């Protein structure tokens, strides 16, 4: 795999921070995706998602608080559309196995 610029949404939480560290160890450029990152990402502010996703080839997504949370499926679907609009070519969604809501989001 060619080194890429990857946005890790949720990079300050347990799973996201591990993913970000591993990607950096593999030589990828990691852009952190949190409300306090240099280009902020906030699930509650979809107007800022274009800027947060611009210039990256891939996005790793850890959804907070949980994919069973009301509105999660709609938020993830909206994010995928914006990602496609700005040229992201790979999305990775971290989810729990066997969870109905997670499976719907994955679809």
Q: How many residues does the chain have?
A: 107
pLDDT, residue 67, reads: 80
For the segment 42-95, what is each residue's pLDDT rounded down to a tens digit? Answer: 999 999 999 999 999 999 998 877 787 888 889 999 999 999 999 999 999 987
pLDDT, residue 91, reads: 95
Residue 31 has pLDDT above 80, yes or no: yes
**Which positions ≥6 away from 14 have C-beta within 8 Å?**
none
Question: Residue 27, exposed/middle/buried by CB under 10 A (0-12, 13-18, 19+)?
Answer: exposed
The Cα–Cα gap between 84 and 102 comes to 21
Predicted confidence band of residue 1 (pLDDT cuts 50, 70, 90): low
Number of domains in the chain: 1
CATH code, domain carrying 56: 3.40.50.720
Question: Two tokens at 75?
Answer: 């938020």
Q: State which residues form the domain around 102.
A: 5-106
């Amino acid at each position: 795999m060619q080194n890429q610029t990857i946005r890790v949404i949720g990079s300050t939480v347990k799973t996201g921070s591990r993913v970000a560290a591993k990607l950096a160890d593999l030589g990828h450029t990691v852009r952190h995706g949190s409300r306090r990152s240099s280009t902020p990402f906030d699930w509650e502010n979809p107007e800022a998602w274009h800027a947060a996703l611009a210039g990256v080839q891939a996005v790793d997504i850890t959804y907070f608080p949980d994919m069973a949370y009301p509105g999660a499926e709609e938020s993830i679907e909206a994010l995928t559309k914006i990602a496609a609009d700005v040229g992201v070519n790979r999305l990775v969604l971290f989810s729990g196995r066997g969870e109905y809501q997670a499976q719907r989001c994955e679809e």
